[in-house]
Chain A
Amino acid sequence: MKGLLPTTLEPLGRGHRLLGAAALALILAALVAVFVQAPTEKHLGDVQRIFYFHVACAWTAFLSFFLVFVSSLAYLRTRRAAWDMLAVSAAEIGVVFTSIALLTGSIWAKHAWGTWWEWEPRLTTTLLLWLIYVAYLMLRSAIPEASRRATFSAVFGIVGFVDVPIVFMSIRWWRSIHPAVVSGRGMDLDVAMYPAFFLSLVAFSLVFVSLLTLRTALERSRQQLEEMKRRAIFDLGGEVSHG
C-alpha cells in the first residue's frame, strides 16, 4: 500500500486513477447485487437491504481505526512523518464511515425494532468509537506544532484502539443487566445473500483504500504548504514560533 502513496506534489498518477475506477466499478456491482440480485428478507422486506451497507461501513470503520493504531505505533517507533499522515487520513475517513454506519444502523433500528436508537452493544460501541476518533481529530486541531501533534495523536490513537475491546465488553455486560425492551436479533444470512454481502464488503474496502491514498496525498501537500508558509515568513524577517 505504501507504494501507492505519492512522494511529490504531482497530480495523482495512473495507479490512483485505476484504483478509483476499480472502486467505482465494484460499488456499482454491489449496488446491483444488493438491490436486484439479493432476495428480499422475509421479515423486514426491502428495508433490510440497508444491512449490507451498514455492515460494510462498520467493517471499513473498524479497519481504518486498526490502521490508525498501527500507524501510531509505527510513528512512535520511526518518527517518520509519513506514518502520521497515514494515521490522520485513516482517522478522518474512519469517522466518516462510522457516521454512515451509525446512520444506517439507526435506519435499520427504526425498521427492525421500531425505534431510531437503541442502546444495544454494537450500536453503542459504534457511537463510542465515533466519539473516541472525533476526540482524536479535535486533539490534532488543537495542537499547532507538527512534531508534538503527531506524537500526541499517536499516543491517543494507541490508547483509543486498545480501549475499544474493553468498551465493548463493558457495554455487553451492562446490556445484559438492563435488557432492552426490544431485543436485537442477529441476522441469519441466507446463502443467496452472500454475493451482495461480500461484494459490499470488498467494494467499501476498495473505496476506503482509494480515499485513503487521496487523503494521504492531500495531507502531504498540506504539510508541505505549511512549511513553505513558515519559511516565507521567516525569510521576510517575521516571528516564527519554534515548535
Chain B
Amino acid sequence: MWEALRKHTVAIPVPRLEGRRSSFLSQAMAVAAKDLRAELRTKEVASGTFVFALLVLVIFNFAFDLRAGDNRTLAGPGILWVSITLGAMMGLSHVFGKEREQGSIEGLLLCPVDRSAIYVGKFAAALVLTAAVELAILPLFALFTDLSVLLPPLLLTVVLGTIGFVAVGTLFSAMAVHARTRELMLPLLVLPVAIPIIVAAIEGTRVGFEGKPWADMLPWLTILTAFDAVFLVLCPWLFQYVMEEMGS
C-alpha cells in the first residue's frame, strides 16, 4: 500500500500558491451538509429533541385538561410553544457541542473561510433539524387537543418564530460550549432574549385557534419579522468575534 508512494506512481499533490477563492455560499453549504449528514447517520439529536418536546407536552396535559373547551385556546398556544422552545433549546446546544467534543472547531478555524459562512451553515442545519422536530410535534399536539394545526396564522408564526429562535440560539450555542455550566448556560442566555418571539408566537397561534381576522395578526407578525430581521443581520456579524475565541 505504501509502495505506491515509494514508487511515486501516485501523484503527490503539487504545492502551489493558491489564489483562488472558495465561494461563501458553497462553504456555508458544505458546513450545513456536513452537520446534516452527521445527524442523519446518528439521528441522536433530532430524536432526543423530539422525545423531550413530547414529554413536555404530555406533562402539560396533567397540568391543564386540554380537552375541555375554553382551556384549549387559552392554554393551548402556550403549551405548544413551551414544548417547542424547550425542545429546540436542547437541540441547539449540540450545534457547537459536538464540534467542541471532537475538537474539530480548530479544523474549521484553519480553513480560509469567512466566519460568517460557518454561522450561515450551522444556522441552516439547525433550522432544518428544528423544523423536522416541529413537523413531528405539531400533529401530536393536534391529537392531544383536538385542535387543527393546519392554520395559516399558526404555520406562519412557526416559520418566523423558529428562524429567530435558531438565529440567536446558534450564536449563543457557540458561546455556551465554553461555559463551565454548559447545559444551563444556553437556556439562560437564549430565553430572556427570545421573549418577544415566544410572546408573539403564542399570541399569533392563538389568533389562529380563535379564528380571528388577519388584522389581529399584525402586531405579532411585526414583532417576529422585526426580531428576525435584526438578528439575522446582527448574529452573523457578532459570530466572527465569537469564532476567533473558539480555539483550544
Contact = CB atoms under 8 A, between A and B. Distances in A.
Interface of A: 76, 128, 131-132, 135, 138-139, 142-145, 147-148, 151-152, 154-156, 158-160, 162-163, 166-167, 169-171, 173-174, 177, 242
Nearest to B187: A135
Contacts, number: 86
Contacts of B245: 147-148, 151-152
B138 to A, nearest CB: 23
B97 interface: no
Interface in B170-194: 171-172, 175, 178-181, 185, 188-189, 192-193
A144 B245 CA distance: 13
Chain B at the A interface: SS class: helix
A68 B34 CA distance: 37
Interface stretch (B82-90, B150-158, B195-203): B195-203
A162 B223 contact: no
Interface of B: 168, 171-172, 175, 178-181, 185, 188-189, 192-193, 195-196, 199-200, 203, 219-220, 223, 226-227, 230-231, 234-235, 238, 241-242, 244-245, 248
5 contacts: A131-B192, A163-B193, A163-B196, A166-B226, A170-B200
A143 B175 CA distance: 9
A166 B241 contact: no
A165 to B, nearest CB: 9
Given A142-B179, A155-B238, A159-B234, A177 B203 contact: yes
A170 B157 CA distance: 14
Contacts of B195: 128, 167, 170-171
B112 to A, nearest CB: 22
Shortest Cβ-Cβ A-B pairs, 4 listed: A142-B179, A170-B196, A173-B219, A131-B192
Contact of B179 (A139, A154, A160, A166): A139
Given A138-B185, A138-B188, A144 B180 contact: yes
Given A155-B238, A159-B238, A166-B226, 4 more contacts: A142-B180, A152-B245, A169-B223, A170-B196
A189 B39 CA distance: 61
Contacts of A132: 192-193
Contact of A155 (B175, B188, B200): B175
Contacts of B244: 151
A135 B196 contact: no
A159 B226 contact: no
A177 B205 CA distance: 14
A155 B223 contact: no
A135 B181 CA distance: 12
Nearest to A77: B241
Contacts of B238: 155, 158-159
Nearest to B224: A170
A139 B199 contact: no
Nearest to B244: A151
